[in-house]
Amino acid sequence: MGGSRVLTPEEISMTVEELARDISTDLPPDVLEALEHAVETESNPLARYALEMLVENAGTARREGLPLCQDTGMFHLFIELGEGIALAHGYVEAADEGLRAATAKIPLRSSLVDDPLSDRRDRGDNTPVVVHVGEGGPAGKARLTLLAKGGGSENATQLFMLLPGEGWEGVKKAVLKAVSAKGAHACPPVVVGVGVGPDASGSIELALRSLLRPLGERNRRKDLAAYEEEMLAAVNALGIGAAGLGGDATALDVHLEEAPVHIASLPVGVVICCHALRRGTSEV
């Protein structure tokens, strides 16, 4: 094809290594801003102190090049291909190679184990990267976004298979149930991703992808944006608060995405991320 190019394994490896270093040691500006705002508005002294410690931790990590959290997380790589660009064979191993190098150089604690039902031997390098491939990058380029998600918040993920008639109120009830049950264990204040449709696995994928959207940026659809605001208020009204100490900031934001669904189904995926929403993007 004229004008097309192939994204090489070397480009992927180098980009993943750089992104892994950056997101592991430098909290994204939108997340830091949300935490600082939470400090200013928090009415519970204990929770405000916890929030101040989170902000201080982020500053120390950035200045000294240290990991933001001892739980380095499981790494997800989202590859969005633009028009005229393709992936070469070996792109998954290239992503692993980049993360392997970052783990050794930063350094990062290894958080992944082999054989989950037997000896659970540590892999030593944080691989494999979970790779998601889709479209949407700029023409002639690929957009690579790396997300590191800790085990505590991953354990808060929940799937609800609702009946269509339960509608929005059923979705909101499911989200509040998930946060009430697991939010205090997911290092709040959290960010809540909600995916509605297309099926069980797709709803979790949608919810996970919603975490890539900047905090404070609403869904482009006005009705879904209003639902996000309503859910954020309802989640914060639970009073779990920073570090589970009670207070105003249980969540920094709630993001909602939806996709076409079967007439008989209403799958709802809820993905919760801790206050350290570690993500970064690069165009290659």
Q: What is the pLDDT along the chain (284 residues), one digit of tens a residue?
A: 445 889 999 999 999 999 999 999 999 999 999 999 999 999 999 999 999 999 999 999 999 999 999 999 999 999 999 999 999 999 999 999 999 999 999 999 999 999 999 989 999 999 999 999 999 999 999 999 999 999 999 999 999 999 999 999 999 999 999 999 999 999 999 999 999 999 999 999 999 999 999 999 999 999 999 999 999 999 999 999 999 999 999 999 999 999 999 999 999 999 999 999 999 999 99
pLDDT value at residue 3: 58
The torsion angles phi and psi of 258, rounded to 5 degrees, stand at: -135, 160
CB 162 within 8 A of CB 221: no
Picking from 149, 170, 191, the residue at the C-terminal end of a domain is 149
15 and 123 belong to one structural domain:
yes
167 and 259 belong to one structural domain:
yes
CATH number at residue 264: 3.30.1330
161 and 141 belong to one structural domain:
no
Number of domains in the chain: 2
Q: Is residue 97 part of a domain?
A: yes
What domain range is 278 assigned to? 152-282
241 and 135 belong to one structural domain:
no
144 and 202 belong to one structural domain:
no
Picking from 115, 149, 183, the residue at the C-terminal end of a domain is 149
pTM, entire model = 0.94
pLDDT value at residue 4: 82
267 and 159 belong to one structural domain:
yes
Q: Is residue 72 part of a domain?
A: yes
Q: Is residue 32 part of a domain?
A: no
Structure tokens belonging to residue 222: 């006005």
197 and 232 belong to one structural domain:
yes
95 and 157 belong to one structural domain:
no
Q: Is residue 243 part of a domain?
A: yes
197 and 263 belong to one structural domain:
yes
Q: Is residue 42 part of a domain?
A: no
Picking from 128, 149, 170, the residue at the C-terminal end of a domain is 149
161 and 226 belong to one structural domain:
yes
79 and 103 belong to one structural domain:
yes
144 and 235 belong to one structural domain:
no
